Amino acid sequence: MNKTVICPGSFDPVTLGHLDIITRASGMFDKVIVAVLVNSGKTPTFTTEERIQLLNDAVSGLPNVEIVSFKGLLAEYCKQSGIDTIVKGLRAVSDFEYEFQMAIANKKLNPNLETIFLTADSDSTFLSSSMVREIGSMGGDISNFVPACVHDRIVSKLRK
Ligand code: PNS
């Protein structure tokens, strides 16, 4: 069976935690679609195009990963595209309630949809895009938090 899964998120910007989940998913499934989406509760710092470009560069070594972006519901996109599995990373108990709510809501909208959680690598449990934005914008060192190939671009945007 040829299995395609989707990894949705804001990716504002991509972190090593995201890359870890995407890399592990790419080893488990035939194809991984990474979807850069609108989270109506957040105002992004990086434009959609910037987030896509950063992700494209970060996953350039993973041939079965594709970056997409669309406006609208994830559950609807999955229905239209024949995707039945969402893969997300779970960092800590603090993530659980929010992720659980989204998984249930997506299943209500599209009953064929399952959400699978991969536990975050122990080096990434503390890591978030918002922490990267805050540290980077105040001149802190984010080199341990974001993929090396996109580090300089993230830093230059955050320091503007
Ligand atoms: O990285 P985030 O911000 O936690 O990801 C949340 C995201 C973007 C996956 C979620 O907000 C989403 O799926 N947005 C697309 C619109 C949608 O389907 N909303 C209903 C989610 S239950």
The CATH number given to whatever domain includes residue 69 is: 3.40.50.620
In a domain, 156, yes or no: no
For 21, the domain range is: 4-125
Question: How much is the average pLDDT of 63-73?
Answer: 97
Question: How much is the average pLDDT of 10-24?
Answer: 98
In a domain, 143, yes or no: no
Evaluate if residue 75 carries a pLDDT over 90: yes
**Catalytic status, residue 129:** yes
Q: Determine if ligand 1 sits within 6 Å of the CB of residue 130.
A: no
Assign residue 83 a region (left: φ > 0; alpha: ψ between -120 and 50; beta: otherwise): beta
Per the DSSP assignment, residues forming a β-bridge with 35 are 8, 68
Q: Which of 6, 19, 37 to mutate to test the pocket of ligand 1 (most atoms within 8 A of CB)?
A: 37
- The protein residue whose alpha carbon is closest to atom 18 in ligand 1 is 73
pTM of the model: 0.97
Question: How much is the average pLDDT of 155-159?
Answer: 97
Q: How far apart are CA 15 and CA 69, in angstroms?
A: 18
Q: Determine if ligand 1 sits within 6 Å of the CB of residue 109.
A: no
pLDDT of residue 93: 85
In a domain, 60, yes or no: yes
Evaluate if residue 92 carries a pLDDT over 90: no
pLDDT of residue 78: 98
In a domain, 130, yes or no: no
Number of independent structural domains in the chain: 1
> Encoding tokens for residue 88?
């997300």
